[in-house]
A = this chain, B = another copy of it.
Amino acid sequence: MPNVYAVIMAGGVGSRFWPRSREKSPKQLLEILERGTMIQNTVKRIESLVDPTRTLVVTNRVQKAAIAKQLPKLPQGNIIVEPIGRNTAPCIALAALFIRRLDPAAVMIVLPADHIMQDADEFRRILRLAVEVAEESKTLVTVGIQPTRPETGYGYIQVREEQDGGNPWSPRGVRTVKTFAEKPNLETARKFLASGDFYWNSGMFVWRVDTILDQIERQLPDMWKELQRVDAAIGSDNFDHVLENAYRIIRPISIDYGVMEKAKSVFVIPGKFGWSDVGSWDEVVRLSGKDDAGNSVKGTTYLLQTNNTFIDAGDTFVAAIGVEDLVIIATPDAVLVCRQGASQDVKEVVDFLRRKQMTEYL
């Protein structure tokens, strides 16, 4: 087994969980669906695979202190702060540079900080397999999710037919990527689902540090140039300064678009472990336990003649009378009342607040 490092990407500002999520307390720092915050559970879920001392978090200035507090087992130096968000490619490259200094042959697992997996054992089994494949094949590996509905909110990964050579892990379920597909419309999503050879792009990756850095050097030479300066400054007094200058120049680009889609060879390991990116209140409702009336409540509440309603009362008290099919989220200064199925429009509220510069509610 190689040295395995985890990189948790925790830069998201997540406006879709307003009013519970705010700029200073985005989704990954909140308790959603499970005990413990999402980032705590992300670290804990893989702890038997990756020791917290080998777990790195990439985040921004606003969240750093909260993350350090929520993850006391992580050495302070493991929390890497990006001066500005530049999407996932620079984030992953930066973390890879840090890991290369410790072990150039290490394998790194890249995980978003705000996903849940209901079957953590199966999730770890898939990751172990991915580490083995990434180590031996020196190829990019991604985890695909067996789709359960024609979701239009995710990218898809199409796999090749099995007959091709060059994939000795095929009998263990590892597939070769044929193509990456952007978020489809509903019609296309239905076709993807029916075809059986499309998987959801989960945004979880496993690869050797040298493999990914080699790919970045080839596919993103401009970024690579800036990152060379950053690499040289790691551990020096002017690291922050160098990083800031580099990030000013680096253009935002996702690892999918910048690297994965252009790579000659990518393996995908399809997983079925109750994954969700918990992308909206509706998804939280879907995943929550319900009582006989279809209600799901968190916090102190009183329900009368109320059905199929989700309430997160936070530190307040919420009373619901005679209502149904609602999502009610209360905080001391802001309240959301939303019809179930319409929670994707929560971002409209956040846009409104930004437009009106009502920053106290952001």
Contact = CB atoms under 8 A, between A and B. Distances in A.
Interface stretch (A61-69, A126-134, A319-327): A319-327
A358 interface: yes
Contacts of A343: 321
B322 A345 contact: yes
Given A305-B345, A322-B341, 19 more contacts: A19-B319, A300-B358, A302-B349, A304-B348, A316-B333, A316-B335, A317-B335, A317-B361, A319-B337, A319-B338, A319-B349, A320-B338, A321-B336, A321-B337, A321-B339, A321-B343, A322-B342, A328-B335, A330-B335
Interface string A254-273: 00000000000000000000
A346 interface: yes
Q: Count copies of this chain in the complex.
A: 2
Contacts of A335: 313, 316-319, 328, 330, 335
Contact of A317 (B326, B346, B358): B358
A48 to B, nearest CB: 41
A328 B337 contact: yes
B317 A337 contact: no
Interface string A337-362: 11101110110110011000010010
A334 interface: yes
A140 to B, nearest CB: 40
Contacts of A337: 318-321, 323, 326, 328, 337
Contacts of A328: 335, 337
Given A330-B330, A333-B316, A323 B349 contact: no
5 closest A-B pairs by beta carbon, nearest first, are A322-B339, A322-B342, A321-B338, A319-B349, A332-B332
A315 to B, nearest CB: 8
Contact of A304 (B19, B349, B361): B349
A59 to B, nearest CB: 27
Interface of A: 18-19, 300, 302, 304-305, 313, 315-323, 326, 328, 330, 332-339, 341-343, 345-346, 348-349, 352-353, 358, 361
A264 B175 CA distance: 97
A305 B342 contact: yes
Contacts of A315: 333
A250 B199 CA distance: 79
Contacts of A341: 322
A323 B327 CA distance: 10
A321 B349 contact: yes
Nearest to A281: B321
Contact of A323 (B326, B330, B346, B358): B326
A355 to B, nearest CB: 10
Contacts of A333: 315-317, 332
